[in-house]
Amino acid sequence: MVATHIAAPAQPAGKRTVQAWKFRAMMRRTVLGTLVLGQTVIATWGMIRVLPYHGGDLLEISLAGVFSLLFFGISVGFWLGFYGFVVRLFGGDRMSLLHRHPPDTLASVQPARTAIIMPIYHEPVDRTFARLQAIYRSLAATGHLEHFDFFILSDSHDPQYWLAEQAVWYHLCKELNADGRLFYRRRPVNLKHKSGNVADFFRRWGRNYRYVMVLDADSLIAGETILQMVRLLEVEPKVGILQSAPLIVNAESLFARVQQFANHLYGPMFTTGLAALQLGEAAYWGHNALIRSEAFMRHCGLKKLPGWGIFGGAIMSHDFVEAAYMVRAGYEVWLEPELTSSYEECPPTLVEDLTRDKRWAKGNLQHLWLVFRGKNIRMAHRMAFLNGVMSYVASPLWLLFLILSTGVATRLILWPIDYFPDKNSPFPVWPEWNPHLAFALVSSTFLLLFLPKFLAVLDATCKRRLSGFGGIVSTFFSMILEILVSSLLAPVRMLAHSRFVMEALFNLNLKWAGQNRSSETSWQQTLISQLPGTLLAACWAAFTYQLDLIFFLWSLPVVIPLLLAAPISIILGKVRVGKVLSNIGLLRIPEEIDGNALLDEIENHGIRTTSHATLTVFEEAILDPAVNKLHQAFARRHHGREQLDVLHNLRRRCLDEGISRLNIREQSILAQDRETLQWLHQAVWRAESGSYWAGLIKSLEGTSKNAYIS
């Protein structure tokens, strides 16, 4: 299928370069740790001084402890953003791979054989294959297409998806003249989800390629960027994984457009800070990344965790673990934020976004086992695992902080003052209120949260990027809108993530499924998902109102978003609202204002999942002679007596009742059998008038057949 000879890579970088980045990484991490710890200690001291008894009992000690963990988290985010701003201000990180090798030097490097793989599972076939087509055409335009093969790795089990995938793949091969270069493979059993899908590819074909570019179904990346990444790995043989920093595109709903705007405005600064801190011990994000095949196959196999509960069984969030194993083996993993034209998409609604977070929460919590029990894993990746854990554990910590704060306020107001909280001390403790220190503490917290956003605007100004967001006025008001939406969503996410963490710790089953990348959310779905938080907020508001007016007002930034969570979620999910704001110049991004050839390619070359507008994918697979022949080529022959009996029964039901009476499993059984597809095709064209199939055939009269690729 592919050539097995692979040329030798370029000469490795010197040891001095490796030692230099490791020393620089150690220094940067030491400075970051010192700043964050110092800041957290000062803030925790201030919190203790604000409390009535100055941390004199278990309740206040617990509150101060939870506060310190939360403050530590936002301090890390602040300093990452600040450092990214400084690095970008001075022209980028001199230690990065791209800064080591001048463009002219890279351009002279001959690319090696590379596979571009796209694992998919129940994804919108038209948009997914349109993105792949755009990548293919972009890579062909570089003049180096002969070094690359494309693989669509399907785990879909619903025939309405995989029948469409097969048909569109076939016609895409013809349209692009990509026979022998664009391949399709479907696993009948999707063992270990995406990581198992990718592992299956490496077992079958990984040795034929020096590098593998991993994409998600929503990934989009320019051919020049892919070529640049391959050349970087050619001149850096110690690099096992090279991760690009994808930006969000194609957002339509208000929710998605807010995420997209934030990603484009703030993302480069934070990503630069993260890359500068991690250097050659970066994380792998699972997509839009280039992998060195031999090293990955040799060192990144994922064994089942040997623990109990969520700490046992298959690893769900595999990407961070694979990066840790790659570095453990002596290779480097780099994040290169200056690699351009790398894109992805985001969920269109809050409900879909939280559904994705529900899957990720369990996967991240699993990493705790590797933090404490993983063998020979570098400290940088143990910290990366902990950071991933904290991204979800921070929510129950915030919830606990609110509960403890309510407890402190309740005790102070309803209970008699305890002047001797320490029973072993003869000296009284006088409760006191320090409003100036409290104000300073709140102000510093808001400064850490929001100053990086203003630094990002300053960064865009210095880099002359503001015009891509519509100018300074549009950028400023878009940022204010993003801050408002983020503030409204924060309490909703807090409750949702708290629930996800508890479900994960109790090892409840979570489904891994395809994402909704396009449709809006219904009122019913939204009310069901948000009702518990709304009721909880109403009860808490009623209690705090009766308790103390000041404390009630303090709680409103959390209470109001939870009370309005359902309508907020509906409004944010509206595509119409997103378009209106875009039309008046808000939440726009450079790719929309300046244009982008890669994104235009998707719009200019549309893809259909059927060539008959009135037929479903399954119906076309039975009725259309050419499509039926295609699916017969994919199907198998079944010879077992029991299998044949089941097939004969399902054939008759399909012929007599139509496909609507068959469930997904029954449709799959029919569509996977070669003789059944042939028999059904012949039988439906001889169906009696007035039957289900005769009605479909009649509906085709006078209609024209559309092309799959336009």
Domain boundaries, the chain: 92-396+457-521+573-609, 617-699
- Fill in the amino acid letter for 607: I
Among 147-151, 260-264, 417-421, the minimum mean pLDDT is found in: 417-421
* 19-58 pLDDT tens trace: 789 999 999 999 999 999 999 999 999 999 999 888 878 9
**Cα(first)–Cα(last) distance of the chain, in Å?**
29
- Fill in the amino acid letter for 179: D
Residues 6 or more apart from 475 whose CB is under 8 A from it? 265, 457, 460, 466, 469
Q: What is the pLDDT of residue 14?
A: 53
What is the percent of the chain with per-residue pLDDT over 90, rounded to a whole number?
A: 74
User: Which residue, 162, 118, 154, 45, is CA-closest to 288?
Assistant: 118
Tell me: pLDDT of 408 over 80: yes
CATH 3.90.550.10 is the classification of domain 92-396+457-521+573-609: yes
* 287-320 pLDDT tens trace: 999 999 999 999 999 888 888 888 888 898 899 9
Q: What is the pLDDT of residue 13?
A: 52
Q: What is the pLDDT of residue 198?
A: 95
User: Which residue, 194, 12, 26, is CA-closest to 119?
Assistant: 194
User: Which residue, 644, 596, 625, 612, is CA-closest to 684?
Assistant: 625
Q: What is the pLDDT of residue 594?
A: 92
Residues 6 or more apart from 449 whose CB is under 8 A from it? 74, 78
Report the pLDDT averaged over residues 610-639. 89
Extract the tokens encoding 310.
Answer: 């969520």
Tell me: pLDDT of 512 over 50: no
* 70-96 pLDDT tens trace: 999 999 999 999 999 999 999 999 999
* 409-422 pLDDT tens trace: 998 888 767 666 66
Q: What is the pLDDT of residue 399?
A: 97
Among 377-391, 486-500, 530-544, 636-650, the minimum mean pLDDT is found in: 636-650
Where does the pLDDT of residue 190 fall: very low under 50, low under 70, confident under 90, or very high at 90 and above?
A: confident
Report the pLDDT averaged over residues 181-203. 92
* 461-472 pLDDT tens trace: 999 999 999 999
Tell me: pLDDT of 550 over 60: yes
Q: What is the pLDDT of residue 704?
A: 65
* 314-360 pLDDT tens trace: 898 899 999 999 999 999 999 999 999 999 999 999 999 999 999 89
Where does the pLDDT of residue 2 fall: very low under 50, low under 70, confident under 90, or very high at 90 and above?
A: very low
Q: Decide: pTM greater than 0.75.
A: yes
